[in-house]
Amino acid sequence: MKEVSIFFFKTYLFIVPISLLALAGIWALIWWTYYNFKSVIQIIYNVIIPKIIRKLDKSLPEKYGRWAVITGSTDGIGKQYAFELAKRGMNIVLISRTESKLIEVAQKIESTYSVKTKYIAADFGSGKEIYEEIKQKLQMLDIGILVNNVGRMYDFPDDLDNVPEDLLWQIININVGAVTMMSRMVIPQMKVNRRGIIVNISSGSECQPTPLMTVYAASKTYLRNFTLALNKELEESNVEVQLVTPMFVQTKMNNFSSSVMEGGLLIPDVETYTSAAVFTLGKSSETTGYWCHGLQNGVMKLLPVHLRTICAFRMNKKFRDSYHEQFTV
């Protein structure tokens, strides 16, 4: 009898640690899967749940406020955000560098939708001096949404010491300075109103060090950490901050690559992408904005960071070679 008791005691000592390890492994696998694929999981969730649980959602103006401010709003994703938000009843403030383009986009929005528009011509690459004028022009408006979309990329992938110094300062002033100062500008009013959302458009290059786009990718890593920290910081004020991380989209920012601009299943056109991204507004604090980009992001994260860095380096080498072949006579 004593030997049987000892046997069962030893078996218990063996099984319990194994069971705990198995539970820990299952728990780690669940969270690992969610972390890597949470963007696509959230998109699916937000499509399915409204079909199961019927509820009357507030319109964007009711939920956040009457006006949406979009930086970098005369081309690409920023321009499409302006149209998508106008379609949902938001009045639009367009901020970009070229006044003629601003007027054209503003007129198109007002002729298409029953909303008001304003525009501010500002070059975010100029640095600190532009923000006081922007602040004065925005101070009387009920700003509910800020889309920090303006960004500057390399003209094509290249070594840091080959990139013009002026371009590097533009990238820093635009990609880091604009998102910081524009967010700081609208937060006080949003805190008082206890509503509002700041949408920061990042890039898939934030996910790992990206050689040959070193400064651009580093600026997007700043944007990621800035956004997620600010979201937590403003949580008690009922103000949301959303990180949107697109992969490749057919925009002029990617003109250096003819293969990217051809598009495809993995590379949507800007209208398709932005429509999907705006759908996630207020539904998730962190998203790729598009189901296919969510899958790409998740699969990419299956690789260790150093392998992703190597892959990014090789891809950008090919982009650089292709650019030189295409544009160098």
Question: Residues 117-147: pLDDT tens digits?
Answer: 999 999 999 999 999 999 999 999 999 999 9
Question: Residues 152-165: pLDDT tens digits?
Answer: 999 999 999 999 99
Q: What is the pLDDT of residue 11?
A: 56
Q: Which residue has the higher pLDDT, 14 or 107?
A: 107
Q: Residue 50 — very low, low, confident or very high, per pLDDT cuts 50/70/90?
A: low
Q: What is the pLDDT of residue 26?
A: 73
Query: Residue 118, SS3?
Result: strand
For the chain, percent of residues with pLDDT exceeding 90: 72
End-to-end CA distance of the chain: 91
What's the CA gap between 223 and 179, in Å, rounded? 8
Q: Enumerate the β-bridge partners of residue 129.
A: none
Residues 6+ apart with CB under 8 A from 78: 70, 71, 72, 96, 147, 149, 150, 201
Q: Residue 9 — very low, low, confident or very high, per pLDDT cuts 50/70/90?
A: very low
Q: What value does the mean pLDDT of the chain take?
A: 89
Which two structure tokens, joined as six digits, stand for 107?
């007129």
Across the range 310-318, mean pLDDT stands at 95
CB of 137 closer than 8 Å to CB of 121: no
* Fold category of 66-327 in CATH: Rossmann fold (3.40.50)
Question: Residues 67-79: pLDDT tens digits?
Answer: 999 999 999 999 9
Across the range 53-61, mean pLDDT stands at 75
Q: Of 81, 154, 216, 290, which residue is the catalytic one? A: 216
CB of 218 closer than 8 Å to CB of 322: no
Question: Is 216 an annotated catalytic residue?
Answer: yes
Question: Residues 287-304: pLDDT tens digits?
Answer: 999 999 998 998 888 889
Query: Residue 239, SS3?
Result: coil
Domain spans, the chain = 66-327
Q: pTM for the full model? A: 0.86
Torsion, Cα 200 223 96 118, to 10 degrees, reads: 40
Nearest in space to 226 (alpha carbons), one of 211, 210, 206: 206
Give me the sheet containing 143-148, strands edge to edge.
117-121, 91-96, 67-71, 143-148, 197-201, 240-244, 286-287
Query: Residue 325, SS3?
Result: helix
Q: Given a cut of 60, is residue 311 above it in pLDDT?
A: yes
Q: Cα Rg for the chain, rounded, in angstroms?
A: 23
Q: Residue 91 — very low, low, confident or very high, per pLDDT cuts 50/70/90?
A: very high
